[in-house]
Homo-oligomer: A and B are copies of this chain.
Amino acid sequence: MIWSAGFCLPVIRDREVYMITSLSNKTVKEIAALSQKGKERHKKDVFVAEGIKMFQEAPLERVCGVYVSCSAEQEILKLCGEKLAGISYEVVSDDVFAKMSDTKTPQGILCLVKQFHYDLTFLMERGIKKQLLFVVLEDMQDPGNLGTIFRTAEAVGANGIIMSSRTVDVYNPKTIRSTMGSIYRVPFVYVDDLSAAIKVLQAEDVCVYAAHLNGHVFYEAADYRKSTAFLIGNEGNGLRKETAACADALLKIPMEGRVESLNAAVASSVLLYEAYRQRRV
């Protein structure tokens, strides 16, 4: 092996690959910053998608960098060889990979992916008119909950997710992981004025239902076969009064015992699967 500043040169599969081994390498620092800081991601218009599944499902045309940890390379080639054949990737030492990674036990592959830019019109024009399905999230803070909602939204064939601008960053690595790939396929939009966005939906005959502790319509009693949006509030505080006031109806998800509310991803899933059930029956 030939060593230079921060690089070593192993020979892998008959070709020479520079392996990044220095923790102070510029690229390494940049990717670590992209994992940790929403501002950096926004500035560079990319995000970090980590793990085998997230790499396998990434649309190739959006991938702008692939990094594989030295010790995992053979295993990664076995699992992702076909996809990796189409692009170049960089091998990094395990130390370097750990620095780039957001997980405690990394799978040894991460990629940089160009951010998505949808708008509300795009979301509205996708899917069968008169049978649209949206999730509208106000100020959701838990990255895992947000990712789980993306995953469930794809599972029920929802047309998109609309989020208030104070909602957690969808490109947070925890969110990305929790989507299990749905981030690539479910369109979404952040809006500064959630009430205005709700009015746009209503103007297109989308009925907007808010999950609400003061709800008086049992969630299974409403008809979701026509265009529907479910409005879900912040984990701790629920929906703001003025946002809830925009809804066409407040839904009650009944609860026994001393439970005061459901986990936000659970509440969303109960509603989405009830809509999906009604549409399939």
The closest CB in chain B to the CB of A269 belongs to B266
Which residues of A222-281 are within 8 A (CB) of B?
Answer: 253-263, 265-266, 269-270, 273-274, 276-277, 280-281
A164, CB-defined interface residue at 8 Å: no
Contacts of A178 in B (CB 8 A): 263
- Choose from B155, B182, B257, B273 the contact partner of A185 (Cβ within 8 Å): B257
**Also in contact, A266 and B148, with CB within 8 A (given A180-B259, A182-B259, A185-B258):** yes
Which residues of A143-188 are within 8 A (CB) of B?
Answer: 144, 148, 151-152, 154-157, 178, 180-182, 185
A154 to B255, CA, bound (A): 8
- Choose from B151, B253, B259, B277 the contact partner of A263 (Cβ within 8 Å): B151
Contacts of A265 in B (CB 8 A): 148, 263, 265-266
The closest CB in chain B to the CB of A178 belongs to B263
Whether the Cβ atoms of B181 and A258 lie closer than 8 Å is yes
- Choose from B57, B262, B273 the contact partner of A270 (Cβ within 8 Å): B273
The closest CB in chain B to the CB of A260 belongs to B180
A178 to B235, CA, bound (A): 12
The number of times this chain is found in the oligomer is 2
Whether the Cβ atoms of A256 and B148 lie closer than 8 Å is no
Residue among A57, A154, A270 having the largest count of chain B Cβ atoms under 10 Å:
A270
**Also in contact, A154 and B258, with CB within 8 A (given A144-B144, A178-B263):** yes
A30, CB-defined interface residue at 8 Å: no
A75, CB-defined interface residue at 8 Å: no
Whether the Cβ atoms of A151 and B259 lie closer than 8 Å is yes
A154 to B182, CA, bound (A): 30
Contacts of A180 in B (CB 8 A): 259-261
Whether the Cβ atoms of A266 and B181 lie closer than 8 Å is no
A220, CB-defined interface residue at 8 Å: yes
- The distance from the CB of A182 to the nearest CB of chain B, in whole angstroms, is 7
- The distance from the CB of A233 to the nearest CB of chain B, in whole angstroms, is 16
A255 to B280, CA, bound (A): 11
A259 to B281, CA, bound (A): 21
The closest CB in chain B to the CB of A276 belongs to B254
The closest CB in chain B to the CB of A181 belongs to B258
Which residues of A101-119 are within 8 A (CB) of B?
Answer: none
Contacts of A256 in B (CB 8 A): 154-157
- Choose from B220, B266, B276 the contact partner of A277 (Cβ within 8 Å): B220
Sort A-B residue pairs by CB-CB distance and give the 9 closest, nearest first: A157-B256, A155-B255, A154-B257, A155-B259, A266-B269, A270-B273, A148-B263, A154-B259, A220-B277
10 more A-B residue pairs beyond the given contacts A151-B259, A178-B263, A254-B280, with a C-beta to C-beta distance below 8 A: A57-B258, A154-B258, A154-B259, A155-B257, A156-B255, A157-B256, A180-B259, A181-B258, A263-B265, A269-B270
